[in-house]
A and B are shown apart, each in its own frame.
Chain A
Amino acid sequence: MRCRVCLGEVVIELPRHNAAFCPDHFTKFCRDQVAKAIKEFDMINEGDRCLVAVSGGKDSIAIWDILLELGYAADGFYVGLGIDDYSDVSGQYARKFAAERGIKLIEVDLREQYDYDIPQAAAKSNRVPCSSCGLSKRHLFDKAALDGGYDVLVTGHNLDDEAAVLYGNVLRWQVEYLARQKPVLEAGNGLPKKVKPLVRLTERETAAYCIIKGLDYQVEECPMAAGNKHLQFKEALNRAEEASAGIKNAFYFGFLRNALEPFERAVADGYSSSGIETPVVLGACIRCGSTSSAEVCAFCRLVENTAGAKPT
Chain B
Amino acid sequence: MRVLLRNPRREIEIEGPLSVNALLDHFEFQRESVLVIRNGTLVPGTTKLKHEDEVEIRPVISGGT
A25 close to B (CB within 8 Å): no
- B44 and A20 contacting across the interface, CB-CB below 8 Å: yes
- B58 and A242 contacting across the interface, CB-CB below 8 Å: no
Indicate which residue in B6, B9, B37, B44 contacts A1 across the interface (CB closer than 8 Å).
B44
A234 close to B (CB within 8 Å): yes
- B65 and A10 contacting across the interface, CB-CB below 8 Å: no
A292 to B43, CA, bound (A): 49
- B41 and A225 contacting across the interface, CB-CB below 8 Å: no
- B60 and A203 contacting across the interface, CB-CB below 8 Å: yes
- B64 and A234 contacting across the interface, CB-CB below 8 Å: no
**Chain A residues positioned under 8 Å from B7 (CB to CB):** 220-221
Interface readout for A185-210 with B: 1 if CB under 8 Å, 0 if not?
A: 00000000000000000111011100
- B62 and A242 contacting across the interface, CB-CB below 8 Å: no
- A207 and B44 contacting across the interface, CB-CB below 8 Å: no
Interface readout for A20-35 with B: 1 if CB under 8 Å, 0 if not?
A: 1001000000000000
- A11 and B43 contacting across the interface, CB-CB below 8 Å: yes
Interface readout for B33-65 with A: 1 if CB under 8 Å, 0 if not?
A: 111010001111110000000000011111111
Interface readout for A217-231 with B: 1 if CB under 8 Å, 0 if not?
A: 001111001101011
> Contacts A219-B58, A222-B62 known; A242 to B42 CB distance under 8 Å?
no
CB distance from A209 to the nearest CB of B (A): 10
Indicate which residue in B30, B35, B37, B41 contacts A242 across the interface (CB closer than 8 Å).
B30
CB distance from B62 to the nearest CB of A (A): 6
- Stretch of A38-46, A157-165, A269-277 lying at the B interface: A157-165
Compute the total of residue contacts between A and B using a CB distance below 8 Å. 91
- A161 and B65 contacting across the interface, CB-CB below 8 Å: yes
Indicate which residue in A1, A23, A203, A228 contacts B64 across the interface (CB closer than 8 Å).
A228
**Chain A residues positioned under 8 Å from B65 (CB to CB):** 130, 134, 157, 161, 164-165, 230
CB distance from A77 to the nearest CB of B (A): 17
- A11 and B63 contacting across the interface, CB-CB below 8 Å: no
**Chain B residues positioned under 8 Å from A238 (CB to CB):** 30, 32-33, 61
A235 to B34, CA, bound (A): 12
Given contacts A204-B60, A230-B65, A242-B31, 20 further A-B contacts (CB under 8 A): A1-B44, A11-B41, A11-B44, A12-B42, A160-B61, A165-B65, A203-B61, A204-B35, A208-B35, A208-B42, A208-B60, A219-B58, A222-B63, A225-B64, A228-B63, A230-B63, A235-B30, A235-B61, A238-B32, A242-B30
Query: Using a CB–CB distance below 8 Å, which chain A residues touch chain B?
Result: 1, 10-13, 15, 20, 23, 57-59, 130, 133-134, 157, 160-161, 164-165, 202-204, 206-208, 211-212, 219-222, 225-226, 228, 230-231, 234-235, 238-239, 241-242
A–B pairs, 24, beta carbons within 8 Å: A1-B44, A11-B42, A11-B43, A12-B42, A15-B31, A57-B62, A130-B64, A130-B65, A157-B65, A161-B65, A164-B65, A203-B61, A204-B34, A207-B60, A211-B37, A219-B6, A219-B58, A220-B9, A221-B59, A221-B63, A226-B63, A228-B63, A235-B33, A238-B61
